[in-house]
Structures are given as structure tokens and as C-alpha cells.
Amino acid sequence: MSTDTSPWFTHHVGTPTDRIDGVAKVTGAAKYAAEFPAQDLLYGCVVNSTIAKGWIEALDTAKARAVPGVVEVFTHENRPHIAWFDRSYSDQDAPPGSPFRALRDGEIRYSGQPIALVVAQDFETARYAASLVEARYSQGEHATDLVQQREDAFRPKRKKSGFESPPSRGDADAALAQAAVKHRGEYRIAIEHHNPMEMHAATVIWEGGGKITVHDKTQGVINTHDYVCGVFGFAKDDVRVESPYVGGAFGSGLRPQYQLFLAVLAAKALQRSVRVVLSREQMFTFGYRPDALQTIELGAQREGTLTAIKHDCVQNTSQFENYSETIVNWSGLLYACPNVALDHRLAALDLYTPIDMRAPGAATGVNAFEAAIDELAYELQLDPLEFRLKNYAEIDQNEDKPFSSKALRECYEQGAAAFGWSQRSFAPRSMRDGRELVGWGMASGVWEAMRTKAQARVTLSSEGRLEVATASADIGTGTYTILAQIAAEAFGLPLDAVTVKIGDSSLPQAPLEGGSRTATTVGSAVQAACEALKKIVLDQARSIGNSPLGKPRASSVTFERGDVVLNRDARKRLPLRDIVLSSGKPTLAAQASAAPSRTANRWASYTHSAVFVEVKVDEELGQVRVTRIVSAIAAGRILNPKTARSQIIGGVVFGLGMALTEESQLDHRLGRFMNHNYAEYHIPVNADVPQIHVIFVDEKDEHISPLGAKGLGEIGIVGTAAAISNAVFHATGRRVRELPITLDKLL
């Protein structure tokens, strides 16, 4: 909270501020997708396939139908008619290909595929009846091992797939051949699943007359709305999607998941309200961070100048969509190097399509590349930080553009000072604390600073209260709060005089909340709407007879403490509520759109970080403890340092999990993820998380948006796993190139 206790404190932007939705969340007043009530609500339970490839020869649903309370069992044999063409199933985040359709036919495309939906009067009955559905399969030969399919990897044709080849420059092969010092390594990071606290759910309320209200766990209500209309043929005005709160998503809510499809299908067929909630086990039956086999080759002069970079990646996708991440592109961006060759291919496996997961592409590619950079620094006998500074990139060499702002050098300096990097000894295994080896490692991080188009509406009431409305989402990042801060400051109001409405498809349109773009994208739209409304308020104030303001220009007044105040004489002021009342209307409102400027593409915009880590490794047992982390962040103007710090801490913990614990384990004989629960999929817990010191480096960016802010959701994870693995090397002298670093890899 601000240290100013005055109720009229109005300098909100840039001030540490509690979440305005915090009380609703901790008291249970906030409702999530599976918590909205409905009269005569039915419950659906999904039945999933037990094989990875083949056909359903027979589905026996008789036992399930015989259970008292069961209303219907939907399968591919009795499902209602749905849209035929692939385009009807596409969405704002869909990759090229043919989107998955639950209950489309009897073909099994991956293990865990939904094959039936049991609908009953209560959840317990639906779950029990679902266990009685029996399937007989004709099983095919599946392929889920990326290593075995590596030779079949392909580069999709760009015109057909939208696949964008990564940029290359110079002659990397020739430069490598001539390099005085070379490094080559193969890197791999385990498949990860998102595992947010709130499981995916959809509550579809049948309103009658062919209208529905959908409560879905989603990162974009507009995306859900358009998907439902496209698949099921609803008129746009007959569907309303609401998602005011999301219990974490991390990318899993960017695309409509199959619980939404099944809930809407059942509700429309039965003309009843239906709820479908996925179990924790079923959370492992859709998208995930993809598998990737990476080969990195580096060349440098003896004094430490990089001369060549080669980064090759083979990444898995599904058999029905070509999902691709920008895994290798970052290697041509981070450091100055004249010769760069980047190659990215896909291998189709009998798994569901991967989906964006916090910092998609960068979390995979940068972590491997930063580990390779650390290895080359040691081969050159250079301090890892010194090596990075020596090869610092002043422009984006991938696109030959200047950066809109780049304070990575300051991140290095401030992060190193806070961590005490100068006290580090160079040699591996040279620092210890009793029976534990001590390691200090560091890495760079980078993420694209994105901004797209959005709309917002701002309404001022005759009570002097302000309402902000936009269809954006809050997936736990603090969107409610920063939008309220922007609007409150614009009108000189206390924060509690502002109400924010989001997560409703009937509100002004906003894009998916993903890619760390919401603060700049939606925040700029709110700011634009506020400026438009201030103009309306001033026009109305000028129409008031004998007004103490006279006929003021916008530049001659200030909005403060609920009044419009004349700059040259603060005694002359007019309350906002009086201005609204003078209009004869209960409210004054303005709606505005905001989009990047026409000159935005002249600049390369990124957030940057420098991550410093201390680990302690039990010399006999190989147990790794992360004991300190310093993350220095350059992300433009920080709108709310309190929620911003939380975002970075969350990202850092993600990186810690990637480095040490998280691993979705496939049994290739079954083609199935086996550790599909919290007991065996190991997420970092409180005891695993050390002191995390977050530094926000001052960075001014006049190009990214009028707010000068960049996103923060992703940058916290990028580079963190590499810094940890580099610290483990410094402690033990052993390089682990396949994450997570588990006991067996160190003993």
C-alpha cells in the first residue's frame, strides 16, 4: 500500500498498491468457472481413452445409463450435429492445422482423448457412471518419442502453415571452422504441464429461447465467445461469456479446452444448464510445454569475442496441428555476433498439440543458450558476466533495428552488486559451506514487449464514481488493480472510487491475456478512454452558466480530489459530480480504442533481465538447494511495484521448477503421461523456494506505449533455469544439459 494515508491520495501509477480484488479472493466472494449457481444444474464427467492411437470398435454405455440420476451419455455415435469445417473450430491462438474436435468420430489421436461425456443430476453420480463406460479398441502403433522421430522432422511450408523461418546471417559454418575456441552441446528440457490451482471448468447456463451464459476458465472471453458461436451455430447476441476471475492459467486458458466444448454441446442438446469440470488427472490430457531437442554450437576468438552461433532445434507437435515456438530466434538476438545460423523443425507425435506455457519458446531456447554461453565462458577462462558484457548487443541484429529501450547492462550491474558477484571464485568446486558445495551462477533473460489493439469504456457517475469496462482478463497478474490505478490517476480520484469490470464478452473488446501484453495493450486503451471522457467532462463544464472555471482549455485545468481545478487559481474548482448532474444524465461515458503507432515497427521492443543464483549441493547425496536468487528486471515503467514483484517471483519459481523438479514423464510403450497428479508431478513448494530479491531497473521507453510500460508475466522465468544449472556446475564441476537436474544426474 502507499504510505500516504489520505483518502484523496491520487498519485497511483508507480505506487505499490494492494490488489483491489484481494478481499474478494481471500473471503471466497470471488466466483470461478465451476462456482456459478444455476437452477436444475446438471453435471458432466468426461471419459478418456486409454490408448494413444487407433479406433473405438465399440462403446458400451448401458451400465452407465442404468445408474439412477444419469440423464444422458454423449459419444461420437449419438452427439448432436456440430460444425463441419475446420475454420469453425479455429480460435485466436490456434496454430495451423485441423483443430481437435472432441467426439468427432471413433478415431483415437492421443492417449487421454475424451471419448464420452456422462451427464447426471449430481457430480458424484456422473463420476460413478463414467467409470462404468467400457470401450473396446482397435489399437494402432503410436509414436511419442521425439528422439526416435527426430529424423522425420520437417519444416512446414510457410504459405500453408504460417511457419516463420528464424533469421540467420553471415556464414556460421565458416566462422566456426576458423574459431579459436569452440563449444558444442545438446540440451533438452522436460515436457511440462501448466497445473494451475483452478482446474479447467465450464458452467453453461441455459437461459431459454436459445440463449446461453457461459462461465469458462479462459484467458480471453472474446475467444471463447467466438469459438462457441462458430462451432454450435449460436447467434453472437445469444451467447455471453463471463470469466471475472481465473485461478491461474499460464497459457492453458489461451485456447478453448474440451470441457467447454462438451459442456456447451450437452447444454444445447438437453436445453439444460450443464457444468463440466476436469479432474487433476485430466489436466494432463491437453496442451503442455513441448519437448525440444536443441543443439548449440558457438565459436569465439581467444580474447572472448563471439564469432559464430548455430542453434538447431527439433520440437514436437501433434499429428493434426503444426504448433511451433520461437525457440532458436533468441540466440541471434542476445549477443553481438556476425555469423548466426538458426534452424527450427517440427516432428509430429501421437500427443495432443502443445500450447503456450509461460514465456513459450524463450523459456526453452534462452535457457539452453544461456547454459551454452556459460560453458563457452569457462572454455575461454572468462568470468561469465564479463563474457556477456564483452559481447553486449546494442541493436537487434535479427531485424537490424534499434531497441525502443534496453537497460540490460544496468540489470547486470545492479543485480551483480546486490548479489555480491565480485566475491565469486572462478573455479568450480572452490566454494563450500560445511558438507555442501556452494555454486554461484548467472544468466540473461529476454522477452518480447508486445502491444496490440484493445478497447475500453470509462463511465463517470453523478456520485463522482468511475467505472472502467473492458473484456480483458485477470489471470492473477493484477489487471484489476493497474487498470483502476490508471483511471484513478487520470481523474484525480481515490482508488476506492473506481470500479473495474472485466472478463465479460459484452464489454468492449480486448485481446487474449497472454504474451505479457495486457498492461500496455489494455492499459493504453483505458488511458485513451479516460482522455476522451475528460474532454466530454470539460465540454459539459463549459456549458454551465456562471461556472467558476469559465471556459477553460484542457491545458488550464487539473483533475484532482474529485474536482476540476483551475491551474492558476486552485480556489476555483467544480466537483465532477456537479458536472455530471448538470448534463441531466445519470452518467457521462466515453469508449476508445488504442493500438500501436504506425512507427512502432521501427523499434525492437523487449524486456530484459539478469538472474543471479546461489545453490548449495550436498557433496555425498547430490541434493540441490537454491538458497538465494536476485532477479534484476528492465521492463519500462512499473505501474504497480507490488503486483509487479509478485509477477517476477512467480516467474522465478516457474524457472526453479523447470531447473530442478518439473517433468511430465511419458511411458512410450503406452504413449501416456504417467505422473498425472501433484504427488508425482513435482511443483516447487514453500520449502524449495529461497529468498528472491527483485530489482526493477529504471528504464524509460517512449516508443512502446503512452504508459511507457512493458509486460512482466514472462520475463521472470526466462534465464532462471539456466542460472540455476550454471550455479550447479560452479558448485559441482558437472554440467547437466537435460533438465530437471535430479539426484541421479549428479551422483
Which residues are annotated as catalytic? Answer: 714
520: left (phi over 0), alpha (psi -120 to 50) or beta: alpha
Helix (H) or strand (E) holding 653, with range, is: helix 641-660
The label of the residue with cell 538447494 reads 625
Phi, psi of 676 (to 5 degrees): -90, 55
Contact 717, 521 (CB under 8 A): no
The strand pair at 691-696 and 624-634 is best described as parallel
Taking the C-alpha atoms of residue 258 and residue 236, their distance in angstroms, rounded to an integer, is 21
Q: Dump the DSSP string for 109-169.
A: -STT-EEEEEEESSHHHHHHHHTT-EEEEEE------HHHHGGG-B---HHHH---PPP-B
Q: Which of 704, 710, 690, 698 is nearest to 647 (CA)?
A: 710
- Distance CA(314)–CA(187), nearest Å, equals 11
Strand partners, 672: 667
The grid cell for 315 is 520440437
Nearest alpha carbon to residue 340 among 308, 372, 298, 365:
308
- The neighbouring-strand residues paired with 575 are 563
Q: Is the dihedral of CA 560, 566, 568, 570 positive or negative?
A: negative
Burial class of 700 by CB neighbour count within 10 A (0 to 12, 13 to 18, 19+): exposed
The residues pairing with 557 across neighbouring beta strands, listed in sequence order, are 566
Residue among 417, 326, 426 nearest 374 (CA): 426
CB 704 within 8 A of CB 636: yes
What is the residue whose three cell numbers read 440423464?
71
Per DSSP, 464 falls in state S
Q: E strand or H helix at 295, and its extent?
A: strand 292-300
CB atoms within 10 A of CB 181: 16
Neighbours of 555 (CB within 10 A): 7
- List the grid coordinates of 340: 548466426
- Greatest distance between any 2 Cα atoms in the chain: 86
Q: At what angle do helices 362-379 and 641-660 cross, to 10 degrees?
A: 70
Sheet holding 573-575, edge to edge: 557-560, 563-566, 573-575
CB 700 within 8 A of CB 636: yes
Q: Are 684 and 673 in contact (CB under 8 A)?
A: no
Q: Is 284 left (phi over 0), alpha (psi -120 to 50) or beta?
A: alpha
**CA–CA dist 437, 617 (Å, integer):** 5
SS3 408: helix
What would the grid cell of residue 346 be?
A: 517440427
Residue with cell 489436466: 283
The number of angstroms, rounded, from the C-alpha of 686 to the middle of its chain's C-alpha atoms is 22
